[in-house]
Copies of this chain bind each other. A is one copy, B any other.
C-alpha cells in the first residue's frame, strides 16, 4: 500500500524514498518486517547518487564495508583471472543484494559494475549485523537471502555443468523473465542491459554461439529479438527447451500502480 503524497520534489524525494515506501520491500531485505522494525532498518541505510553506466560500485579486493541493494537499473559482478580475462558471475536486478560474498574475509572477491544508470541502497554491514541481533525478523531474512544466493549458485552449476548451449540460453531467458515478473515488469517483453558477450561469458558460451541461438530461437518462433529488446512469443516452449521446470505463475507479482505506461 504505497502512500504516495509526493507533490513535486520528485527526483530528490525519490532518491530518498524509505524502505517503507519502496516498491521493492516485498522482495528485498525488509521482507517479513513490521513497521517499526522497518524504520530502524531504514535509519542505517544510505542512498547515494546513482551510478552511471560502466561505473564500478566496487572492485576486486576492495575492503568490505557495506552491502548494497539495487533500487533501479542493474549491475554485473565479475572476477578476473591472472591473464586479465573476466568471468561474469551474475546480473543483479532491483531488490537484489550485492556483496554477500565479501563477508567471509572482509574483501570483495568480485567487482561490480553498472550495466546502465543504477541507484542503490548502501547498508553498512556492521550496523546491519548489530541491528539484526535485535530484530529477529531481520536476522532471519538476512540468512534467507544468503541461502537463496547459495541456491541460485547451485542452479547455475546445473546450467553450466550439464546443459547444452541451447538449454543454457533458454534457461537464462526464462530466469530473467521470472525475475522481471516478480518485480512487476512484463515477463514477456524486456530489455537486456548486458551485451551478448556478457551473456556468453556468464553462460560459459562464446558470444557467437549466443548470437546464433538468438537467431535460431527467433526463426523457430520462440521469441522476437531486436538489439537489446526481447519479446518472448512462446514461453512454454522455451521452457521445454531449457529442460527445467518453469512455472509461469509460481509467485504473485507485485502490483505497481504507478507503472501505468
Instruction: Judge if A46 is at the interface, Cβ distance under 8 Å.
Output: no
Instruction: Judge if A179 is at the interface, Cβ distance under 8 Å.
Output: no
B140 and A129 within 8 A (CB): yes
Do most interface residues of chain A lie in helix, strand or loop, or is the interface mixed? helix
Copies of this polypeptide in the complex: 2
* CA distance in complex: A139, B103 (Å): 12
**Known: A160-B160, A204-B160, A245-B82. Contact between A147 and B87, CB under 8 A?**
no
B-facing residues in A104-131 (Cβ within 8 Å): 104-105, 109-110, 129
Range of interface residues on A (Cβ < 8 Å):
35 or more
* Residue of chain B at shortest CB distance from A104: B147
Residues in chain A within 8 A of chain B (CB atoms): 79, 81-82, 85, 87, 89, 100-105, 109-110, 129, 132-133, 136, 139-140, 142-144, 146-151, 153-154, 156-158, 160-162, 201-204, 243-245
